[in-house]
Amino acid sequence: DAVVADGDFGYSLASGFSAVLAYFDQFDRANVGAFLKRIALVISSKVGGASGPLWGTAFLRAAGAAGDKQTLAPGDVVAILRAAAGGIAQRGGAVLGDKTLLDALVPATDALEAALALPDAMSGHGVAAVECMAGEARRAADATAAMVAKKGRAAYTGERSVGSVDAGATAIAVIAEAVSAAWRQRYGTEKELS
């Protein structure tokens, strides 16, 4: 994000998620909500700038949506992602089109929900649905290059932000792609959803 901000977003986010990995084995696993809440606390304390509170809020809202569930159904995952997006929107005052991580997270969640609604979506543990989500996250993140930033540090550059992808949206794409690759590795292949 050095073109439109101060260039530390990737480092800061990587540092926060490295801390999550460092504490991972110590996290409360009593239920999904407790687990996500612990991630929120680590992210909030380890990610600098405005990103820490935004990503922390996302995980806190996800924790609230998960509640005390021990396992998640596909619809629960969509609800968690929607709660995270809602928390980010409220905390940061952003909407779709402001050139923020919401511009990748919301379309990716929509794509996941649509893919999960297809017949046999859960055959093969939903590998194709997760791939649809990751593909849409990348497409949407790349599309932010055409937008003018209206929130965050990039907003200070105005029209000069056109031509650069949003760092937060790109982070969503990278995370979605990593989740998709790990999901495919764990659960194998399945026919493509159309």
Q: How far, in Å, are 28, 43, 83, 185, 187 from residue 25 at the CA level?
A: 9, 16, 25, 22, 23
* Best CA proximity match to 47, nearest among 26, 16, 69, 91: 16
The pTM of the whole model exceeds 0.85:
yes
56, 50 contact by CB (below 8 A): no
pLDDT in tens, 114-169: 999 998 888 778 999 999 999 999 999 999 999 988 877 666 666 766 888 998 99
101, 74 contact by CB (below 8 A): no
Average pLDDT score over residue span 10-21: 87
- Radius of gyration over alpha carbons of the chain, in Å? 17
How many degrees, rounded to 5, is the angle at CA 177 between CA 173 and CA 178?
A: 120
Residue 1 has pLDDT above 90, yes or no: no
pLDDT in tens, 16-40: 899 999 999 999 899 999 999 999 9
